[in-house]
Amino acid sequence: MKKGLIRLSSNYLLRQSKLFSTNNRLVFRFCSAKQEKHEFKAETKKLLDIVAKSIYTDKDVFLRELLSNASDALEKQRFLATQKGEQVPSDLEIKIDLDEQKRTITIEDSGIGMTKQEMIDNLGTIARSGSKQFLEQVGSQMNDKIIGQFGVGFYSSFIVGDTVEVVSKSERSDKTYVWVSDGTGTFEISEAKDYFQGRGTKITIHLRPDQAIFSKKAEVLKTIQRYSNFINYPIVVNGERQNIVSAIWVRNKNEITPEDYNKFYEYISNSKLAYKYKLHYSTDAPLSIKALLYIPQTHMEKYGMQMEEFDISLYCKKILIRKNCRELLPHFLRFVKGVVDCEDLPLNISREGYQDTALIAKLKSKLNQRLSEIRQVTLLEGVAMDDEHRNSMTKLLRFQTNKSEDFISLDDYISKLPQGINNIYYYLAPTRQQALTSPYMEPFSNSEIPVILTMNHMDEVVFKQINEYSSKKFVNIESDQAEVDKVAQKSTEENEKKEETNVETTIPNDEITPFCLWLKNELNPIISQVQISKRLKTSPAIIVSAISSGMRQVMHAMGQSTDDLKNLTLEINVQNPIIVNLNKVRKSNRVIASLASKQILDGCLLSSGLLRDPKEVVERQHKILNVLLTSEINTPIIEEVGAYREEAVKQKDSKKDDLDTEIIIDSDGNPQVVKKNKK
């Protein structure tokens, strides 16, 4: 049996303690005329004792550390099999065997295993992380899978054990080796024949008499549930799997059923009562955050004498860092339950806390921002259902406007209205950006009147129900045409004072009525009325309906038919170049004009949320593209180079004079461009 000394990875401990490093040697400097270099010396036995017994707060964390190491070994084996194009082994699991009589606990994994040299390097060197070296080799693609990073977790086994035995076999070696140490600074390593049939690592801890509790199943199960219940691989204790609840917060929302959410809530809340609301949130920027938060139906606070305890658990890569984490949410949200997983947490060496309070503050800000959406939904329900407290709850609602991304109250909104405005204007859109670029916002683009932007159709239900606030009427700028036209008319009058309309960029007055009738006929039965818009400035047209898109969403959700695509009004901008040119083309080529008019309608339906079936839209786009491309192919293209430039121009002009271009519809109904000699 070969003996060795447990070494110190100076470079790593140096980075952790923020000292000065040169060529991987620990040095300090003196302010003198001549500097001398000296190496720090470490008493290995004392250092090992500090690492094993002074870093960690609780003794049971040794099991968390060893299970994390086992998980990393399994993850490495899975990754290497995938890289080789092999099938992922089906035997990837962690086994824990307990023997109360012998006072031992054994943790075995079927992971990547270690060679003799790897056992000497990884187990015989404090603060040398094999997992970190693995990540450096394979790149960042495994960052979210590998847990270990410090290289000290293994030595936590000496918190509870007086002797630790490690048996390991790697697929890269045909031999199995045993590593044994009592934590006094030395270790022994020898070959163990016929121990492993395949690969893996088995750690047996001979517990000290005062730590015999960790050979009892109940204590081990409690520790697994506290720290490591969401490890990806099965944890089997004395033949029975324990971690049967999966970490659903890291999965795609579309893969999770309502039953999964219910079961997970029952698990974390220890309650059979259903939750009221949930927030499943995932983002990679500016922080990598995966969170699943619940708002319960009720809480345990009574008359202010008993306060809810924070029940948010902070994880890093599915390993518990802190339970009941008070730093993640403001105190008034203490009733929220759930988990938050942040891969970017700068953990301290014990992995029981974090080093960057600024990052935690940023994490708290992001979570609070997303939870405000749930609070808004809760308040909206109260405003809609509670007549007695409606006014007081309405004061608590918060909205963004087109003027600012800050959330403001309705009272703040009213304070920003110009003199004489008696309406509260709002607009519903899927996102803020879509709202700001919508044609419906054009009358307000240069106006001092702010518009509330909402992304929740329930806002409009509430606005319709309460109708007004502080004697100001709620006006949806999409459907309340008369009120919006007043704003548009005032804006138009101000613009006319500044500039005159160019008659060449508008449809002549005597052609407006025939054009509107033609357009109505082309777009029938979807469009029953075409009228000149007072609100549009740059867009060609919009759809106007008494029923807004938000109300349509509510009616569809309730199973009510709304006849979306019948008897709608089309407002056109007679100064828009597309509309002006459409009026000209309809006189010379009705086929192209018909296609173009329907394409304009498609755009309007899309903007108003009425476009249900895109099939016809795509087919029409293909026809228009075919016309454009066919026209381009048949247009003569002549290289104009050097001395032949003038002749080329003459040839080009003469061909134009000799040919007429005509678009016809072929037997398949497709438009084709043909050229004819002039008669």
First to last CA, the chain: 108
* Structure token pair of residue 614: 């895109």
Q: Would 425 be classed as within a structural domain?
A: yes
Q: Confidence band (pLDDT; 50, 70, 90) for 415? A: very high
Q: Would 445 be classed as within a structural domain?
A: yes
Q: Would 570 be classed as within a structural domain?
A: yes
Q: Would 557 be classed as within a structural domain?
A: no
pLDDT digits 0-9 by tens, 544-560: 887 887 777 777 767 66
Q: Would 278 be classed as within a structural domain?
A: yes
pLDDT at 550: 74
Q: Would 553 be classed as within a structural domain?
A: no
| Burial 198-216, CB ≥16 within 10 A → b, else e | ebbbbbbbbbeeebeebbe
pLDDT greater than 60 at residue 42: no
Strands (E), 383-479: 399-401, 404-408, 423-428, 452-454, 468-469, 472-476
| Domains identified in the chain, total number | 4
Q: What are phi and psi of 677, to 5 degrees?
A: -70, 140
- Are 356 and 389 found together in one domain? no
Output the domain CATH number for residue 442: 3.40.50.11260
From 58-62, 493-497, 624-628, the region with the lowest mean pLDDT: 493-497
Residue that terminates a domain, selected from 444, 459, 488: 488
Mean pLDDT across the stretch 301-315?
A: 72
pLDDT at 462: 87
pLDDT greater than 50 at residue 66: yes
Q: At what angle do helices 61-83 and 130-138 cross, to 10 degrees?
A: 30
- Are 428 and 365 found together in one domain? no
pLDDT at 611: 74
Question: What is the spatial distance between Cα 448 and Cα 421, in angstroms, rounded to a whole number?
Answer: 11
- Are 255 and 230 found together in one domain? no
- Are 424 and 481 found together in one domain? yes
pLDDT at 104: 97
- Are 310 and 224 found together in one domain? no
pLDDT, mean over the chain: 79
Exposed / middle / buried, residue 319 (Cβ in 10 Å: 0-12, 13-18, 19+): buried
| Burial 248-276, CB ≥16 within 10 A → b, else e | bbbeeeeebeeeebeebbeebeeeeeebe
Domain with 272 in it = 248-374
From 312-326, 500-514, 535-549, 590-604, the region with the lowest mean pLDDT: 500-514
Output the domain CATH number for residue 609: 1.20.120.790
Residue 360: Cβ within 10 Å count: 18
- Are 472 and 534 found together in one domain? no
Q: Confidence band (pLDDT; 50, 70, 90) for 130? A: low
Question: What is the spatial distance between Cα 279 and Cα 289, in angstroms, rounded to a whole number?
Answer: 13
- Are 231 and 95 found together in one domain? yes
Tell me which of 405 and 424 has the higher pLDDT. 424
Question: What is the spatial distance between Cα 454 and Cα 506, in angstroms, rounded to a whole number?
Answer: 35
Output the domain CATH number for residue 324: 3.30.230.80
pLDDT digits 0-9 by tens, 205-260: 999 999 999 999 999 999 999 889 999 899 999 999 998 888 999 999 999 999 99
- Are 202 and 278 found together in one domain? no
Output the domain CATH number for residue 220: 3.30.565.10
- Are 84 and 211 found together in one domain? yes
- Are 264 and 234 found together in one domain? no
Q: Confidence band (pLDDT; 50, 70, 90) for 473? A: very high
Residues with Cβ < 8 Å from 285, sequence gap 6 or more?
none
Mean pLDDT across the stretch 76-101?
A: 91
Q: Would 503 be classed as within a structural domain?
A: no
CA atoms within 13 A on the CB side of 552: 18
Residue 275 near residue 297, CB atoms below 8 Å: yes
Residue that terminates a domain, selected from 226, 241, 256: 241
Mean pLDDT across the stretch 475-498?
A: 74
* Structure token pair of residue 266: 């029952």
pLDDT at 283: 86
- Are 227 and 262 found together in one domain? no
pLDDT greater than 80 at residue 125: no
Q: Would 260 be classed as within a structural domain?
A: yes
Predicted model pTM: 0.54
Mean pLDDT across the stretch 637-661?
A: 44
* Structure token pair of residue 559: 């199973």
Residue that terminates a domain, selected from 211, 241, 271: 241
Give binding residues as ranges: 65, 69, 109, 114, 122, 129-130, 149-154, 201, 351
- Are 260 and 188 found together in one domain? no
Give binding residues for ATP as ranges: 65, 69, 109, 114, 122, 129-130, 149-154, 201, 351
pLDDT greater than 90 at residue 160: yes
Length of the chain: 679
33 alpha carbon, distance to own chain's centre: 57
pLDDT at 7: 61
Sign of CA dihedral 571, 574, 580, 584: positive
pLDDT at 624: 81
Mean pLDDT across the stretch 491-501?
A: 55
